[in-house]
Amino acid sequence: MANKVLVFIEQRNGVIKKASLEAAKSGSDLADKIGTVSEAVLIGSDVDNAGLLGGYGIKKVVHFKNSELGNYSSSAYADLFAEYANESGADYFIFSNTSMGKDLAPKIAVKLDAGIIVDAVNLDIDGENIIAARPVYAGKAILNVKINSAKKIFTLRPNVFAAGEASDSIAEVEIREVNSPNLSTKVIDIKKSEGKLDVAEADVIVSGGRGLKGPEHFNLIEDLADALGAAVGASRAVVDAGWRSHGEQVGQTGKTVSPTLYIACGISGAIQHLAGMRSSKYIVAINKDKEAPIFQVADYGIAGDVFEILPALTEEIKKIKG
Amino acid sequence: MKIAVCVSHVPDTASKISVGSDGKTIDPNGVTFIVNPYDEFAIEEALKFKESKGEGEVVVISVGPDANKETLRKALAMGADSGVLLKDDNYRDSMSVAKALAVQIKEMDARLVFFGKQSVDYDNSIVGQLTAELLGYNCISVVVDLKIEGDKITAEREIEGGREVVETSFPVVITTQKGLNEPRYASLKGIMAAKKKTIEEKPAAENINLIEVVQMKKPAAKQPGKIIGTDSSAVPELVRLLKEEAKVI
Ligand SMILES: Cc1cc2nc3c(=O)[nH]c(=O)nc-3n(C[C@H](O)[C@H](O)[C@H](O)COP(=O)(O)OP(=O)(O)OC[C@H]3O[C@@H](n4cnc5c(N)ncnc54)[C@H](O)[C@@H]3O)c2cc1C
Ligand SMILES: Nc1ncnc2c1ncn2[C@@H]1O[C@H](COP(=O)(O)O)[C@@H](O)[C@H]1O
């Protein structure tokens, strides 16, 4: 039997992140295919319902607990994860490619002498070889890569791997009280951004670009986003112009997103913008220039004026959402 | 005090990328290479720190072939004091790059080290964290605000839905994100001065790759979608398609 798969589970405010459910499911599927089991490491203070990870195939959850660990601490989290990684003898490690996962996974790679592949969008399992696909050069090429060391770490792009429906299995949860965590690097505060929903986590995103003509017209974007329960995104051109905050920027120098639905309004679709959103499941483009490159990646498009179309679309959505 | 800045030399993001004859790397013909855009924030932050202290030495380091000297030279023109090229003509994975950097940083005893958050070639975002861990340094990644007072370091890093305020101490690795500062342009005087600054060349530490590239390919071309219409009369059809065909609303 191959050695175990260990999944890092991310919590914020005691709630397990959706991306971690995807990681749990992918880790468990991997374990099934190579004939082993999957376990999870969860680090935090009080955490709700860790046992439910069993529904995504996890056999056992080790919860390192301390009131100081509610917020992320790269030093403490790395030490604790590595401690259980060594104890469990796991060879495969799955993280989400979130801001926490990206920070933590490389530290673990050094501690375990493991090869690391980040931001995978596909894992092909062929016997004990795992071929990961990952976009490089701003999505202009795809690299198929594999790891040749015994221990292997993968971080998965959020929203790309399906978590699916949970079964009703419950995982064994082992709580380990941590006495004095290594807090040499620690989060002392979290400043929430003013926006309601963050693009990096939203299932639907409505993004606006320079075609909106000015910040005063972004209410058209916000209204549609509200009607859809979506997050508001922006192109770099409008962020640089100071119309919107950097936290909303989608693209190479902004955030990489893969929502189920991405609606680009008045955005030309420059390669650096596409780099951040082309892995979205469905893309809708609204642009008055039918030659705009955004239509090359869009599933559906309207080659028209945002000022006319957005209000009509918002009304239509409100009708069906009641 | 020595301040190290690690810089990579990457294709301009506007470049057309095609797969090379080995099927594993890009064809560099006709590609313009530039200073990795995120590394400009790293260079700027190091220069600002030195200026605020009124002392110190900013050393820029790059792992790669001779061509990387161009990027080192640009950093010198911005105001860095000297450069080090850890020479290697072959492909290296992130860990192997980090190991070479760690040897150099240790040797020069820099306790404040800046990286960009990400190289816009392979878009990995890990070399800074790997190097920090190899050195046993503290590390804060994706930093958009930084304060250093005595031995106390407070940084804000970008996360989903906001920022984390992180506290740590020296020695430290900081990886920089857009928003941290406005990188300066090299002045003509700076460009002239850079010609007299030294770039030390030495072989990079042993290249041991744990990651193997199996294949590089172009992404599957997406079937361009349907343009449903040109005005708001197309809206009901769009909503129907999203509801019935895509099933996303
Ligand atoms: C290193 C680097 C990194 C970058 N990173 C990013 C990044 O992270 N994210 C990003 O977005 N960009 C990024 N860019 C910038 C990118 O190249 C583009 O400049 C930017 O995306 C353009 O934004 P835009 O589409 O809003 O504006 P434009 O390109 O000006 O497009 C506006 C579009 O609106 C349409 N339009 C105008 N009026 C209307 C109307 N009334 N109704 C409908 N449509 C209308 C026009 O036809 C046009 O297509 C980066 C560039 C570089 C060099
Ligand atoms: N070959 C290299 N030489 C020096 N620094 C590098 C090199 N590759 C990456 N870096 C640094 O590591 C950061 C992150 O790169 P990456 O993990 O490759 O995305 C970059 O912004 C650079 O600061």
- Chain B residues 135-154 within an 8 A CB cutoff of chain A: 138-142, 144, 154
Cα separation, A30 vs A1, in Å, equals: 13
Residue A256: CB partners within 8 Å, gap ≥ 6? A119, A157, A200, A250, A275, A276, A277, A279
Are A192 and A80 spatial neighbours (Cβ–Cβ below 8 Å)?
no
Q: Are residues A48 and A104 in the same domain?
A: yes
The DSSP output letter for A53 is: G
pLDDT value at residue B14: 84
Task: Check whether B189 has a pLDDT greater than 80.
Answer: yes
For residue A1, the model assigns a pLDDT of: 53
d(CA B129, CA A103): 7
Q: Rg (Cα) of chain B, in Å, rounded?
A: 22
Residues A34 and A143 both lie in one domain: yes
Cα A43 to ligand 2 centroid, rounded to whole Å = 29
**Domain CATH code at residue A27:** 3.40.50.620
How far apart CA A96 and CA B159 sit, in angstroms, is 13
Mean pLDDT of B125-141: 98
Mapping DSSP to helix (H, G, I), strand (E, B) and coil, where does residue A117 land?
strand
For position A201, what pLDDT does the model report? 85
Last residue of a domain, one of A177, A193, A212: A177
Residue A30 lies in a domain: yes
Question: Helix B69-78 and helix B37-53: axis angle, to 10°?
Answer: 40
Three-class SS of chain B: CEEEEECCEEECCCCCCCECCCCCCECCCCCCEEECHHHHHHHHHHHHHHHHHCCCEEEEEEEECHHHHHHHHHHHHHCCCEEEEEECCCCCCHHHHHHHHHHHHHHHCCCEEEEECCCCCCCCCCHHHHHHHHHCCEEEEEEEEEEEECCEEEEEEEECCEEEEEEEECCEEEEECCCCCCCCCCCHHHHHHHHHCCEEEEECCCCCCCEEEEEEECCCCCCCCEEEECCHHHHHHHHHHHHHHCCCC
Q: Looking at beta carbons, which residues of chain A come within 8 Å of B166?
A: 185-188
- Are both A103 and A235 inside the same structural domain? no
Q: Are residues A245 and A164 in the same domain?
A: no
Residue A137 and residue A66 share a domain: yes
Angle, in degrees to the nearest 10, between helices A99-112 and A74-88: 50
- A193 belongs to a structural domain: no
Domains recognised in chain B with CATH numbers = 2-203 (3.40.50.620)
Percent of chain A whose predicted confidence (pLDDT) is above 70: 98
Inside any domain, residue A189:
no
| Contact across the interface for B213 and A271, Cβ inside 8 Å | no
- Mean pLDDT of all residues belonging to chain B: 95
Could you tell me if residue A265 is inside a domain?
yes
Kindly tell me if the per-residue pLDDT of A254 is higher than 80. Answer: yes
Judge whether A185 lies within some domain.
no
At which of A123, A158, A177 does a domain end?
A177
Ligand 1 pocket member A252 (CB < 6 A):
yes
Q: What is the pLDDT of residues A194-253, one digit of tens each?
A: 667 889 889 999 999 999 999 999 999 999 999 999 999 999 999 999 999 988 999 988
- Asked, for residue A196, whether it belongs to a domain, the answer is no
Nearest chain A residue (CA) to B132: A107
Residues in chain B: 249
User: What's the CATH number where A244 sits?
Assistant: 3.40.50.1220
C-alpha closest to that of B242 among A84, A250, A259, A128: A259
User: Ligand 1 centroid to A268 CA: how many Å?
Assistant: 5
Q: What is the mean pLDDT of chain A?
A: 95
In this complex, the residue of B160, B212, B238 whose CB is nearest that of residue A302 is B238
Tell whether A41 and A173 lie within a shared domain.
yes
Q: Looking at the predicted structure, is the pLDDT value of residue B117 above 60? A: yes
Residue B50's alpha-carbon distances to A161, B42, B46, B54, B176, in angstroms, are 45, 13, 6, 6, 16
User: Do the domain assignments include residue A182?
Assistant: no
pLDDT value of position A197: 81
Does B224 score more than 80 pLDDT? Answer: no
Choose the closest CB to B126 out of A98, A116, A145: A116
Model confidence at A321, in pLDDT bands (50, 70, 90)? confident
Consecutive H or E run containing A81: helix A74-88
Residues A168 and A252 in one domain: no
Identify the domain boundary among A131, A161, A177: A177
Contact at 8 Å (CB) between A233 and A206?
Answer: yes
User: Is the CB of residue B216 less than 8 Å away from at least one CB of chain A?
Assistant: yes
* Residues B40-53: tens digit of each pLDDT: 999 999 999 999 99
- Angstrom CA distances, B49 to A198, B44, B45, B149, stand at 32, 9, 6, 11
Range of the domain at A44: 5-177
Compute φ and ψ for B23, nearest 5 degrees: 70, 10
Cis omega (within 30 of 0) for bond into B219:
no
Where helices occur in A89-148 by DSSP H, the ranges are 99-112
CB B166 within 8 Å of CB B155? yes
CA distance readout (Å), A6 to A39, A69, A87, A313, B95: 5, 20, 11, 45, 21
A93 and A134 together in one domain: yes
Residues A171, A279 within the same domain = no
Looking at the complex, does the CB of residue A121 fall below 8 Å from at least one CB of chain B? no
Are A245 and A300 in the same domain?
yes
Are B65 and B9 contacting, i.e. CB atoms less than 8 angstroms apart? no
Q: What is the per-residue pLDDT for B226?
A: 86
Quote the CA–CA distance of A123 and B213 in Å, as a whole number: 14
| N residues, chain A | 322
Any B CB within 8 A of A299 CB: yes
Assembly ipTM: 0.90
Same domain, A216 and A140: no
User: Which ligand places an atom closest to the C-alpha of B178?
Assistant: 1
Residues of chain A numbered 96-115 and touching chain B (CB < 8 Å): 98-100, 102-103, 105-107, 109-111, 114-115
Q: Which amino acid is at B58?
A: V
Average pLDDT over residues B3-13: 96
Indicate whether A256 belongs to any domain: yes
- How many structural domains compose chain A? 2
Average pLDDT over every residue of B147-153? 96
Q: Over 90: is that where the pLDDT of A78 sits? A: yes
| Distances A228 to A17, A225, B241 between C-alpha atoms, Å | 22, 5, 15
- What pTM was estimated for this model as a whole? 0.91
Q: Which ligand lies nearest to the CA atom of residue A109 in the structure?
A: 2
Two tokens at A66? 């301390």
On the 0-12 / 13-18 / 19+ scale of CB atoms within 10 A, A81 is: buried
Q: Is B188 exposed, middle or buried (0-12, 13-18, 19+ CB in 10 A)?
A: exposed
pLDDT at position A320 over 70 = yes
Question: Do A154 and A277 sit in the same domain of this protein?
Answer: no
pLDDT confidence tier of residue B221, bands split at 50, 70 and 90: confident
Which pLDDT does position A231 carry in this prediction?
96
Task: Give contacts of A316 with chain B, Cβ < 8 Å.
Answer: 235-236, 239
Distance between CA atoms of A239 and A245, rounded to whole angstroms?
6
A32/B contact by beta carbon, under 8 A? no
Mean pLDDT of A165-185: 97
Question: A205 exposed, middle or buried (CB, 10 Å; 0-12, 13-18, 19+)?
Answer: buried
Nearest chain B residue (CA) to A229: B249
